[in-house]
A and B are shown apart, each in its own frame.
Chain A
Amino acid sequence: MYDTVIIGAGMSGLAAGIRLAYYDRPVCIVERHTAIGGLNSFYRLNGRTHDVGLHAVTNYAAKGGRRGPLAKLLRQLRLDWEDFNLAPQRGSAIVFPGVTLRFGNDPDLLRSEIRRAFPAQTGNFERLLDELADYDQLGSPSTCRSARQAAGRLLDDPLLVEMLFCPVMCYGGARERDMDFGQFSVLFRSIFLEGLGRPADGIRTILAALGRKFRGLGGELRLGTGVRRIGISSGSADRVILEDGTELPARRILSCAGWRETLRLCGVPPDDPAPGLQGISMVESISVLGVQPQALGIDRTAVFFNDSAEFHYARPDDLVDLHLGVVCSPNNFSYDQPLAEGIVRVTALANYDRWAALDPDAYRLAKRRSYDHLAASAVRFVPDFRSAVIDTDLFTPVTIRRFTGHDGGAVYGAPEKRYDGRTHLANLFLCGADQGLVGIVGAMLSGIAIANRYLLGPE
């Protein structure tokens, strides 16, 4: 009998697993895919490794920092800063028509940019920073209010509001147009007050550290092992039944598969999502260049762009929305050595249903066309890299759904979060994107918080 079976070897499942294994609980993580990482995994193509979700780790903190989410999670997982080895970003920018705001890991850069571009908002911006509270309060009534309204009350220039929302939503907006103020504050701090970092080898560095730690503590990890359903007796979840029929008895079950996905595993058909509460999904193109991006003048880490004054973060009617997006070069972090090849990634919002409706030939064609459209969209905001491209790939909402199992390829999970991590069953819990925290650090903290709250009590 396992103390806990964890469904999903994503960031949150691995982190929860480490906490349980460290405190000597018999724990098994089952993962359908052959690689760990979930929404933040990796894949190989043409001899290269590409990260799926990772542009950057937000919540960056330098070595030796004691405060903040990254330091907290390293302590909780008994990992060293070197295990992640994050290189800080070189610098990013938000680009709207006629206005650019640069930002980096030092918040003073953004402050000075706002003084330059929005001088009347300087004081208001400081008041906004004061309002941003601690993540521990996520899910309380004070944090479940509209972030757009809260920000709009403090900053009376709508363009500045739009520009600040752009990176926050692109790097964590699970639903259209708006988010809880609590979520906004967590994401805002993670991007603008702490910053971006990336290991030289990408997400695999972090995954290797987590996998090593988990296994080293005696945790059991079963890859290529899908779950057919969660077994329930007398109103209690008592076992996980795998696709091959094997049954894993468990005292508790922790699912990172998502709320609706978990309900399905319990044999409870979830309600249809309310209109306007669709999950957010994306396409992302990866361009491998024959030169370093800086040689082409691409020296920013991430460029968050929007081609009009208003920022419409919503599921597009078409396959892809080309009005807004992110252009990221993983090369533009302060590594010890430059990366071997130049890479440019362009991300845009996408409509899962439209992509899923395509037959295989139409799908392949749409991918090629979208690659071209994304590149053409991006070069309005970064130097033209297209003639330097030596290899490409593109992943779609369908790709994301296929590898992670999350409905609609929702990269940030369900639009409405279940902050308490509870379900209709007393010993079945949720962690990960649907519990409330997204992103790499966020997901790990979600797993840690849920494990601490519910799974580490006296046996």
Chain B
Amino acid sequence: MTQEEIRQAVLAILADIAPDEDLGTLDPDAPFRDQLDMDSMDFLDIVLELRKRYRVQIPEQDYPALASMVSTVAYLTPLMKDLPGPPRP
């Protein structure tokens, strides 16, 4: 997967967890916590969805890396770059 595809994957997860949030205006550098109304249960769901959809395992000590879109994509790139991207039209 390219970094852009990883970013889209994370956005899709966020859309599922918080369907009423406006993700179009998300600042990729700012923490999710400051922009979205999400609590610790929602953050746990990001981790669980990544595992469910992409078999990515994230140890608890690495959770702080998922603070913003930029940091999340950076963290996930080595773990997901070899995964197939979505089917291309």
- Which residues of A pack against B, CB within 8 Å? 22-24, 64, 66-67, 72, 75-76, 78, 136, 448-449, 452, 456, 458
B52 touches A24 (CB 8 A): yes
A78 touches B16 (CB 8 A): yes
B65-85 vs A, CB cutoff 8 Å, 1 = contact: the mask equals 000000000000000000000
- Which residues of B pack against A, CB within 8 Å? 16-18, 20-21, 37, 39-42, 44-45, 48, 51-52, 57
Q: List 10 A-B contacts (CB under 8 A).
A: A23-B52, A67-B37, A72-B41, A75-B17, A75-B18, A75-B42, A136-B40, A452-B41, A452-B44, A458-B57
A76 touches B45 (CB 8 A): yes
**Chain B minimum-CB-distance residue to A458:** B57
**Chain B minimum-CB-distance residue to A80:** B19
The CA of A452 and the CA of B42, in the complex, are separated in Å by 11
Question: Residues of B contacting A66 with CB < 8 Å?
Answer: 18, 20-21, 37
A23 touches B17 (CB 8 A): no
Query: A447 to chain B: closest CB distance in Å?
Result: 13
Question: Residues of A contacting B41 with CB < 8 Å?
Answer: 72, 75-76, 448-449, 452
The CA of A190 and the CA of B61, in the complex, are separated in Å by 34
- Of B21, B48, B57, the residue contacting A456 (CB under 8 A) is B48
Query: B52 to chain A: closest CB distance in Å?
Result: 6
Question: Residues of B contacting A64 with CB < 8 Å?
Answer: 20
Number of A-B contacts (CB under 8 A): 30
The CA of A22 and the CA of B44, in the complex, are separated in Å by 14
Closest 8 CB pairs of A and B: A66-B37, A23-B48, A23-B52, A452-B44, A76-B41, A456-B48, A458-B57, A66-B20
The CA of A360 and the CA of B46, in the complex, are separated in Å by 55
Question: Residues of A contacting B45 with CB < 8 Å?
Answer: 75-76
The CA of A184 and the CA of B52, in the complex, are separated in Å by 37
The CA of A421 and the CA of B39, in the complex, are separated in Å by 21
A72 touches B39 (CB 8 A): yes
The CA of A22 and the CA of B42, in the complex, are separated in Å by 14
Question: Residues of B contacting A136 with CB < 8 Å?
Answer: 40
Question: Residues of B contacting A24 with CB < 8 Å?
Answer: 52
The CA of A172 and the CA of B57, in the complex, are separated in Å by 40
The CA of A72 and the CA of B37, in the complex, are separated in Å by 10
Query: A138 to chain B: closest CB distance in Å?
Result: 14
The CA of A61 and the CA of B39, in the complex, are separated in Å by 18
Question: Residues of A contacting B44 with CB < 8 Å?
Answer: 452, 456
The CA of A22 and the CA of B17, in the complex, are separated in Å by 13
Question: Residues of A contacting B20 with CB < 8 Å?
Answer: 64, 66
Query: A366 to chain B: closest CB distance in Å?
Result: 46
Question: Residues of A contacting B40 with CB < 8 Å?
Answer: 136
Question: Residues of B contacting A452 with CB < 8 Å?
Answer: 41, 44
**Chain A minimum-CB-distance residue to B37:** A66
Question: Residues of A contacting B42 with CB < 8 Å?
Answer: 75
Query: B19 to chain A: closest CB distance in Å?
Result: 8
The CA of A400 and the CA of B21, in the complex, are separated in Å by 42
Question: Residues of B contacting A456 with CB < 8 Å?
Answer: 44, 48
The CA of A64 and the CA of B20, in the complex, are separated in Å by 8
The CA of A369 and the CA of B48, in the complex, are separated in Å by 55
The CA of A115 and the CA of B16, in the complex, are separated in Å by 44
Query: B56 to chain A: closest CB distance in Å?
Result: 11
Query: B20 to chain A: closest CB distance in Å?
Result: 6
The CA of A449 and the CA of B42, in the complex, are separated in Å by 12
**Chain B minimum-CB-distance residue to A136:** B40
Query: A302 to chain B: closest CB distance in Å?
Result: 30
The CA of A23 and the CA of B16, in the complex, are separated in Å by 14
The CA of A22 and the CA of B53, in the complex, are separated in Å by 11
The CA of A448 and the CA of B44, in the complex, are separated in Å by 12
The CA of A75 and the CA of B40, in the complex, are separated in Å by 12
Question: Residues of B contacting A449 with CB < 8 Å?
Answer: 41
Query: B17 to chain A: closest CB distance in Å?
Result: 6
The CA of A143 and the CA of B32, in the complex, are separated in Å by 30
Query: A165 to chain B: closest CB distance in Å?
Result: 29
Question: Residues of B contacting A78 with CB < 8 Å?
Answer: 16
Query: B62 to chain A: closest CB distance in Å?
Result: 13
Question: Residues of A contacting B48 with CB < 8 Å?
Answer: 23, 456
16 further A-B contacts with Cβ under 8 Å, apart from A75-B45, A78-B16, are A22-B52, A23-B51, A24-B52, A64-B20, A66-B18, A66-B20, A66-B21, A72-B39, A75-B17, A75-B42, A76-B41, A76-B45, A449-B41, A452-B44, A456-B48, A458-B57
Question: Residues of B contacting A448 with CB < 8 Å?
Answer: 41
The CA of A66 and the CA of B36, in the complex, are separated in Å by 10
The CA of A456 and the CA of B41, in the complex, are separated in Å by 12
Question: Residues of A contacting B51 with CB < 8 Å?
Answer: 23, 458
Query: A358 to chain B: closest CB distance in Å?
Result: 46
